[in-house]
Every structure is written in structure tokens, then in C-alpha cells.
Amino acid sequence: MSEPKYIVGIDLGTTNITVNEVAVAALEDEKPAVEAFPVLQEFAKGAVEERDVLPSFLFQRLQEKPALAWSRDLPFIVGEYARERGAEVPGRLVSSAKSWLCNTRVDRREAILPWNAPAEVQKISPLAAQAEYLAHVRLAWNAKFPKQKLENQMVVVTIPASFDAAARDLTVEAARQAGLPDVTLLEEPQSAFYSWIGQTRVPWREQVKKGDVVLVVDVGGGTSDFSLIEIGEEGGDLVLNRVAVGNHILLGGDNMDLTLAFHVKGKLEAAKKKIDTWQTVALSHACRKAKEALLSDPDRKSETIVVSGRGSSVIGGSVKSTLERQEIEDLLVDGFFPACAFTDAPREDPALGFREVNLSYAADAAITRHLAHFLRQQTGKPEYQYPKAILFNGGVFLAKRFQDRLVEVIDGWLKEAGRDPVKVLEGTDLVRAVSAGAVHFGMAKRGKGIRIRGGVSQNYYLGVESALPAVPGLKPPLKALCVAKMGTEEGSVTEVPKHVFGLVVGKPVEFKFYKSPARREDEVGQLFDEVPADVEETSGLSSELPPQEGMAPGTVVNVNLQVGITEIGTLEIWCRQQGGDHRWKLEFNVRDAIR
């Protein structure tokens, strides 16, 4: 590949996608200008327009004719118009593909979206949907810069810090399907932090000092993500280390939109206006637009909500209501950022005998309780539980009341522990920080800026069956072997010591696989007699080992495990022949739906 002329950051968000770029030639400047890249999209009546944000929605066309030069044969509309049409015909709308990509209860390569859509609707896999979004960005870029195609640039794609190894692999695969064969992955909270470092309004070194621990709270459209970054020092210079990440929490702006929709539905039904399920979905989209308009413009006091009618009981063919700014803030502050104790845990619904297969939405809408749980897990140092500063990210925090309430709750925890109030870091663009930060990361990789040391975001464990005599009706107990440690840096290869496995070539092998973002004391090679209660099962590992030269099918080969962290941030696990040169890669089994 030729030397790239641009560094491009893509925030592949659950509900919105943004893109930023900088010319490599500009890195010679003292302060290179990182620019937004507006993405060309199609709209009603054949109109096309560049927009700063590409909503992460696909809509299967009905009578809409493609309007973009590259979309002649594509069955899906991508972006804002897809979302608008989906509000009118919800059964044809693909949304939250990113969340489905990390759902271990379904086959991520199977055409399952839109979920529960009518039989006549063409479906698409979560993997293919992510590829569609990235392909749209690539084609929009190439239309604008035909001599500097995106596939020839340095491209950084952001992902949640809580994405497991399989979801990271799938994101890279989606990029390849989209015509981007060489991308680098970056965790979203880290990316927001890079953006904060790169901003010039309030220099970052004036806001933090050695020993500070910064809490990054990223509440996006579909997820809430928490990370801790520690400020250290080496050779007289400040260094940054990502020391903790939270679990994948499906809780964000989408939940708030639905909350507002049910609130407005209640007001309409109190006025004797019947609202069905279809209109409730449309209400959610209307409330999202009202929320975004009110939270982004402090001078606006209210927004009108209008939803098309669905029957003779609806007067005038449509229903209308209003949302006040104060109404929105009161409802969402108390519902999503309630006061709570540091010892409070997220509430869980009672277990039911049957549960519909769907996304694993958080049962508790209180972001404050999820945050308290995350901080309590950080037992490595006392400073990790009581951060000195907080960095906000995500359009949700455009409402200053949300920031103020979260700071108020955290300060209560700190005061109880005899510590100083948390400092709010200033200077970030809450909407574009992640894509801009991805560019600053790319600049840092090329020597223009400071790097955050991150590595693997969590520990990984392999399930190993105990070697016991066979007992009728009893499966051998499962042990857990730590094979990757949180913080292991990109580009490293680690041998898992002390353990030898006998594998049969020519036959499929499968392993259970587990993860934990909190067990920072565990070491690679450490074997636990039982799978620890605080680790979570994730996508398993499988492979069919082809016989190498000189091996007969059925040969038992003694192997050691070798774990590598690639430069792009993915995890690779290999079985290496003991005393030989052969090795076989274990693949993440993303086809393991519910057994």
C-alpha cells in the first residue's frame, strides 16, 4: 500500500457515526487541524446532502429510488433518511447492529436483522450491517477524494472498551468486507481522552498531574462505557495508562428516547387518544428528535411531537403533544441518574423460566448504580475507586444537568470516603470527541502526541476439563486457565507456561472461553480448580487441526498455548506443537447461538 496521505478516524457508534480526518502533511505544523468529514447521504425525493453525522440505520427500500451515484444496486438506504423511513415503517428498519455484533446468544453472521421482521423483509446479519455502514463511509470518502481512496489511508475505527475479543475480530472482518483491509481498532473512552489531550482550549497538562486517576464516562446512543486512566511519570514526562474498563452495558440515549415515548403516550392516552404499538415506536423517534433539539439548543424551551394516525379513533389523522425542556430533564435525571450509595448494586429482574432472545438490555436504568458497581470492582489501588477527575463523552451530556447530577452523586461518595470533590475536565466536543480522538491517536502513532498505554482490556481464561475417572451421568468439572492478562500491550506474544494439551489432529476441538475486567491480580498460566464466579463466559474457541506433513489423521499432538496481541488490537490464540514447528490458530466461534 502507498504511503497514506490522511489519518481518518471513524466513530462507528450504535446510533450515530462520525468521521474526522487530518492530512499527514499537516503533522509538520505545530498544531495540525483535525477536521470533520461530512458524509453524503440520500433523502426524500432523490435529494442528497452532506451531514456531519451518519445515523447507524439501514432501511430496506420500498419504492424509494437510489439517489447516490454508488447506490444503484444496494437494497438499503443508509443514514438519516433510513431512520426517518423506519419511524414510518418500523418492520423494515435495522438498528443497534453494533450491539447485536457482541451478542453471544445469536449467530452474528446469520441474516437476523431486522429482528422479528415480517417474512417478506430482506434480512441482514449484524456483521454485514456493520460492513454496510463502513462501506457507505468509504464510498462517500472516495467520491470526494477519488485520488486518495479511503482504503489507502490510515484508518482508525473505534469500538467499546467492553467489546470482547470475538466482537473485535468481527469489527475487523466487517471493515474488510467494506473494502477497508487495514484498519486499527481503538477503544472509545480512550479515543475521547485522546481528543481531550488534543484540544487546545484548556491544555490538558494544566488540568491533571502525576498520580491522578481520571474516570471516563461515555454514555452514547446505545451503551454506557466506563474506563479509568491513570496519570503517571517516566523520565520527568507524564505518561497515561488505561487501568480499568467496565462491562458492556446496553443503556444509553435509546433507553431515554423510549422513556420519553411512554411518557408522551401516557399524556395522550389521558386525553382519550389511543396509541398502538406501531405509534409507540414512531413516538420514540419523534421524542429522540425533540430531545436532541432541546438539549443542543439552550434557548429552546419546548418541542411539538406529531405522530401519524392509525385509525378512525384518531382525530384529524394524527396525534400531537409537546415536550418541555424542564419535563425532559426532570424525567431523565431522576430515572437515569438517581442519587445512590457507593455500595448500591444495579437492580436485576427476577429470573423467569423463559426469556425472549433479544439484546441483553440492562435491567436497571440507573447509570449511577452501574458506575458505583464498576468503581467498587477496582480493588487494585484505593485511588481507582475514588477518581480525582472525570471526563464526560456522548451527546447525552449536552444537557448540563446530567453532568451536574452525576458529579453530585460522585462527590457524595468521595465526601463519605474523606476525599476531595471530583474535578470535571474541560475542552471536549461531546458529539465528535471519539472520531476526532481516533485521529489524534493516529497522529500519536506517527510521533505527534502522547500515547495512552492500554493493551488487552480484560483478562481471558480458557475452560479446561479436569482429568478424572469417568462417572456415569457426570461431566468432568471445568477448571479455568488464565491465558491473557489485562494491560498486555499490542504486538506482544506470550507463552502460557506449565500447561501441555493433547490435541487430536483432523478432528474439531472446542474450548469454553471467559473474560473478566476486574481480576487484575491473576497471572498468565494460573490455573483455578473451579471457574471463578466473577468471570463471564464469552464466545468460545474452536478449530479443526489439519494434519501436518508426516502426521496421520487422529494423531495426538502435545501442544502449548501461545497468545498474541496484534498491532491492531485483536487477540490471537495458537496451539504450538511441543518440540516442533507446527502451530494451529484457534478461531472465535461466533456461530454459537443458544444451545
Over pLDDT 70: what percentage of the chain? 93
DSSP string, 513-530: EEEESS-TT--TT-EESS
SS3 assignment, position 36:
strand
Lowest mean pLDDT among 3-7, 86-90, 356-360, 433-437: 356-360
Question: Distance of alpha carbon 123 from its chain centroid, rounded?
Answer: 23
Q: Residue 131: is its pLDDT beyond 60?
A: yes
Q: Give me the pLDDT at residue 588, please.
A: 75
The mean pLDDT value for 371-391 works out to: 92
Q: Give me the pLDDT at residue 281, please.
A: 78
Main-chain dihedrals φ then ψ at residue 513, nearest 5 degrees:
-135, 140
> Who's near 299: CB < 8 A, 6+ residues apart?
none
Q: Residue 563: is its pLDDT beyond 70?
A: yes
Determine the straight-line distance between the first and last CA of the chain, rounded to whole angstroms: 43
Q: Residue 408: is its pLDDT beyond 90?
A: yes
When mean pLDDT is compared over 100-109, 126-135, 300-309, 427-436, the highest value belongs to: 126-135
Cα gap 525→500, rounded to integer Å: 11
The mean pLDDT value for 150-171 works out to: 91
Q: Give me the pLDDT at residue 519, please.
A: 87
Q: Do residues 513 and 460 touch, judged by C-beta distance below 8 A? A: yes
Higher pLDDT: 316 or 116? It is 116
Q: Give me the pLDDT at residue 468, please.
A: 52
Structure confidence by residue, pLDDT tens digits, 204-257: 888 999 999 999 999 988 889 999 999 998 877 788 988 888 887 889 988 998
Q: Give me the pLDDT at residue 163, please.
A: 84
Higher pLDDT: 200 or 517? It is 517
Q: pLDDT tier at 502 (50, 70, 90 boundaries)?
A: confident
Q: Give me the pLDDT at residue 354, please.
A: 42
Q: Do residues 81 and 43 touch, judged by C-beta distance below 8 A? A: yes
Higher pLDDT: 544 or 331? It is 331
Q: Give me the pLDDT at residue 467, please.
A: 64
Q: Give me the pLDDT at residue 442, please.
A: 95
Q: What is the mean pLDDT of the chain?
A: 87
Q: Residue 441: is its pLDDT beyond 50?
A: yes
- Amino acid letter for position 521: E
Structure confidence by residue, pLDDT tens digits, 11-64: 999 989 999 999 999 998 888 999 999 999 999 999 999 999 999 999 999 888
The mean pLDDT value for 443-449 works out to: 89
Torsion of the alpha carbons at 339, 358, 253 and 377, rounded to the nearest 10: 40
Q: Give me the pLDDT at residue 200, please.
A: 67
Structure confidence by residue, pLDDT tens digits, 110-122: 999 998 888 888 8
Structure confidence by residue, pLDDT tens digits, 66-100: 999 886 678 899 999 999 898 888 889 999 899 89
User: For residue 443, what is the enclosing H or E element?
Assistant: helix 433-445
Q: Give me the pLDDT at residue 120, please.
A: 86
Q: How far is CA 27 from CA 34, 382, 442, 532, in A?
A: 10, 39, 11, 48
> Who's near 158: CB < 8 A, 6+ residues apart?
9, 10, 11, 12, 185, 186, 187, 188, 191, 434, 435, 437, 438
Q: Give me the pLDDT at residue 589, please.
A: 67
Torsion of the alpha carbons at 578, 580, 582 and 588, rounded to the nearest 10: 10
Domains along the sequence of the chain with CATH: 6-186 (3.30.420.40), 192-251+340-452 (3.30.420.40), 253-335 (3.90.640.10), 459-589 (no CATH)
C-alpha cell recorded at residue 167: 466482537
Higher pLDDT: 82 or 163? It is 82
How many helices (H) and strands (E) in the chain?
A: 12, 29
- Amino acid letter for position 440: H
The mean pLDDT value for 508-536 works out to: 88
Q: Residue 312: is its pLDDT beyond 80?
A: no
Q: Give me the pLDDT at residue 1, please.
A: 57
- Amino acid letter for position 330: D
User: For residue 461, what is the enclosing H or E element?
Assistant: strand 459-465
Sign of the CA dihedral 115, 117, 119, 125?
negative
DSSP string, 222-283: S-EEEEEEEEEEETTEEEEEEEEE---BB-SHHHHHHHHHHHHHHHHHHTT----HHHHHHH
Q: Give me the pLDDT at residue 259, please.
A: 92
Q: Do residues 10 and 134 touch, judged by C-beta distance below 8 A? A: yes
Higher pLDDT: 380 or 118? It is 118
Higher pLDDT: 292 or 271? It is 271
Q: What is the DSSP letter of 176?
A: H
The mean pLDDT value for 431-438 works out to: 95
